[in-house]
Chain A
Amino acid sequence: MSDAAFIQVRGVTHHYPRMHEPALDNVDLQIPQGCSFGLLGPNGAGKTTLLSLLTGLLSPQAGEITIAGYSLSDDPPAIKSLSALVPQDFAFYLKLTGHENLKFFAGIYDIDDSQWNERLEYCTQVCQLEGMLGRRVAEYSGGMKRRLNLAIGLLNQPKILYLDEPTVGIDALSRQVIVAAIQKLRTQGITVVYTSHYMEEIEAICDELAIINHGRVVARGRTADLRSQGSGRSLSLTFAAIPSDELMQALAAWQVQCVHQRKVDLTLQNVDDMTAVLDTCKQHRMTIEQLQFGISRLEQTYLSLLKENEAATGESAT
């Protein structure tokens, strides 16, 4: 991975017509070549708009984007020929076979017959589509469709691959195939820009990431650094049963970050607080099955950063 910014986004703003707030507001990003870069953010945060700008589907109303030294406003064809977009939807033809779909997009990318067999073999192998391509896509499972979606994106051997939630709505096995395929692309030096709501995927794939909210970059940096933010005081408890309301009220003193059925995440002020938390649980006769202290997951960092941002946005609005 080279340190020089391969993708440069400087002060980019985009405002959709008839919308009160800009979809992207003065965004700055630098993505090095060969980096796997994650874009995180809630729905409507501006991730897809940013991908649309990077792929030349939209033009920024302010700011500048340069990719591999080409300015997007001056030379979109050069940039488009370097990249491929794998949209969130099944962006192909259900009535055609997998092979016909790949052949069609190969035509769109001007891949001639001499290169076609080699490209087909590569895409089929990376996305594990062997034996499926002769069937109509309408008959594919969700996971197979996702793999075909990715395979189409690899046809033109892109230097940059934009993946917009490429594993949404599929089974764990197919997701594993896609994540493995993307990890393989990293080793080939392809720059990957990846959006997903699955934190474990982002953690597994992305070297760096940016968290976007309300069209602004809330945080950006190396994935490992962001994950460890605030990890020293986090306590994660998994109870034997769903905690009672009384216990939850008692635990409220330690900033409850996340509650999911039997699992509660807390932020402690200091290590001594842990004894107090355990005493409280004992008083309420709740058995603790699992306890984790000092290990933060990306999701916790993400949620706390979003909360902070929401609070700051609320304050600035008032």
Chain B
Amino acid sequence: MNALLACIRKELLLLSRDLHGLALLFIMPLTFILIMSLALQNQMAEHSGSRLNVLWLDADHSDASQNLLQTLNSGHAFNFAINASEMNANDVDRQLRHGDYAFAIRIDTGFSNNLLNAPDDGTHNDITLSIAPDTSKQIEAIMVSSLHAALGQERLRAMLNTFGAGLDNKAHKEFDVHYAYISKDQNIPSAVQQSVPAWLVFATFFVVVPLSNTLIHERQQGTLRRLRSTNLGTLRLLLGKLVPYFVINQLQVILMLLAGRYLVPILGGQALQLNGSWWLLATMAAALSIAALGIALLIAVSSATTEQATLLGGTGNIVLAAIGGIMIPKFVMPVAMQTVASWSPMSWGLEGFLDILLRNGTLRDIAPEATGLFVLGLTTLLLAWLIQSRRSE
């Protein structure tokens, strides 16, 4: 017991004096969480309340054009800047290129009069939709379909007017919206709800760098030879490395969750909602740590030099993160890539945490991911132990 405690204390002391290792384990993921949470806020616009800016140029000044604006505005997807002044096409294009607006909608004089007389040949329309160069195709499609729907409503109103009937301006809620994720305070996730678990998982796997550096230095400096000449044994030697890094992993999880909860809001982002039970989070964190430690130890015992281990561990982590939905969310990947992603242990970890934090998952929900991580961890640990024992012979 004395020997194991001495090993644990030694590893923690060494890590506390390794500024690069500490930065890699704590500062790097924290930076990613802050940057990504704040940067992705607008991407998840419907969740954060920010909307797409649209320049509204109304030369018709009619009830029909006002109704059209009101209908488009009722969707809460767009933020209209009403500009009554005359702007030519070049001015509008300049504004769009400048990035102030995603769209510009120009209503020409005569729009209301021509509502029921759309030109057959398509040579001229009273409405022009201009699109900024950096507006995505998906957003463009949303705007085009919204505009079609609003115009259809105005045409219907004009048609009914000719028959002496009316159409009220009240926004009709024709269907309910339900978000499949649940949280205690709100039922919609924020960017921080996605990025905290992602970068937390990423950071956990980076124990490979300090862990392998220490082990390889011990081997190269003859310290391992000296330790093996004592009665320490391979099991206690490896446990002496795994236990402190397991504690470090748990500390990472706690700190990243706290950063999402308290630090991100200070910087203008939304606070992380800590949903699900603590013991589920702890189970997931433990499973993740065992997998990360298994892979780290396997790389450490298999590598000849620290450079080799850092290259293998660092590059491997980035690849696992890229395919595992850490850097690019899985839902934007094509189906084939999503299948590939499901092979990354980082993806298992991320999905497990998202199950708890976003989907209010139960033990049954996280069981596949947690089991996968446990099995992977135990297998790699066993392999590492075998390799280390063989090296000892």
Contact = CB atoms under 8 A, between A and B. Distances in A.
A100 B6 contact: no
Interface stretch (B59-67, B120-128, B226-234): B226-234
A26 interface: no
Contacts of B5: 107
Contact of B6 (A83, A86, A103): A103
A59 B390 CA distance: 12
Nearest to B18: A95
Contact of B231 (A80, A106, A107): A80
Instruction: Across the A-B interface, give the 5 residue pairs with the lowest CB-CB distance, nearest first.
Output: A107-B6, A89-B222, A87-B222, A91-B222, A85-B229
Contacts of B222: 87-91
B231 A77 contact: yes
Contacts of A205: none
B226 A87 contact: yes
Interface in B1-38: 2-3, 5-7, 9-10, 13-14, 17-18
Interface string A146-189: 00000010001000001000000000000000000000000000
Interface in B190-233: 221-223, 225-232
Contacts of A110: 2-3
Contact of B226 (A91, A95, A103): A91
A156 B225 CA distance: 17
B213 to A, nearest CB: 11
Interface residues of A, number: 36
27 contacts: A52-B225, A55-B229, A57-B225, A57-B392, A58-B393, A59-B393, A80-B231, A81-B231, A87-B222, A87-B225, A90-B222, A91-B221, A91-B222, A92-B223, A93-B10, A95-B17, A96-B13, A103-B6, A104-B6, A104-B7, A105-B6, A107-B3, A108-B6, A108-B230, A110-B2, A112-B2, A162-B229
A111 B5 CA distance: 12
A128 to B, nearest CB: 21
Interface string A31-65: 00000000000000000000010011111000000
Contacts of A198: none
Nearest to B225: A87
Nearest to A113: B2
Given A59-B393, A87-B225, A104-B10, A109 B17 contact: no
A92 B221 CA distance: 7
A84 interface: yes
Given A90-B222, A96-B14, A56 B229 contact: yes
Interface residues of B, number: 24
B14 A83 contact: no
A151 B14 CA distance: 21
Nearest to A78: B231
Contact of A91 (B17, B18, B223): B223
A111 B2 CA distance: 8
> Which of A90, A92, A100, A104 neighbours the largest number of chain B CB atoms within 10 Å of its CB?
A104
A57 B10 contact: no
Contact of B221 (A57, A89, A100, A108): A89
Secondary structure dominating the interface of B: helix
Nearest to B1: A110
B220 to A, nearest CB: 8
B19 to A, nearest CB: 11
A38 B9 CA distance: 37
Given A95-B17, A96-B13, A90 B221 contact: yes
Given A96-B14, A110-B2, 18 more contacts: A55-B229, A56-B229, A57-B228, A57-B392, A81-B231, A87-B222, A89-B223, A90-B221, A91-B225, A92-B221, A92-B226, A95-B14, A95-B17, A96-B13, A104-B10, A108-B227, A152-B226, A156-B230
Nearest to A96: B13
Nearest to A92: B223
B48 to A, nearest CB: 45
Contacts of B230: 80, 108-109, 156
Interface string A98-134: 0010011111111110000000000000000000000
B6 A93 contact: no
Contacts of A89: 221-223
A100 B229 contact: no
B231 A96 contact: no
A108 B3 contact: yes
A190 B16 CA distance: 38
A73 B167 CA distance: 98
A193 to B, nearest CB: 13
> Which of B14, B17, B230, B392 neighbours the largest number of chain A CB atoms within 10 Å of its CB?
B230
B211 to A, nearest CB: 15
Nearest to A83: B229
Contacts of B392: 57
A85 B224 CA distance: 11
A107 B230 CA distance: 11
A90 B222 CA distance: 7
Contacts of A95: 13-14, 17-18
A55 B392 CA distance: 12
Nearest to B15: A95
A59 B221 CA distance: 22
Contacts of A112: 2
Contacts of B229: 55-57, 80, 83-85, 162
Nearest to A54: B229
A85 B393 contact: no
Contacts of B228: 57
Interface in A181-233: none
Nearest to A86: B226
A85 B228 CA distance: 10
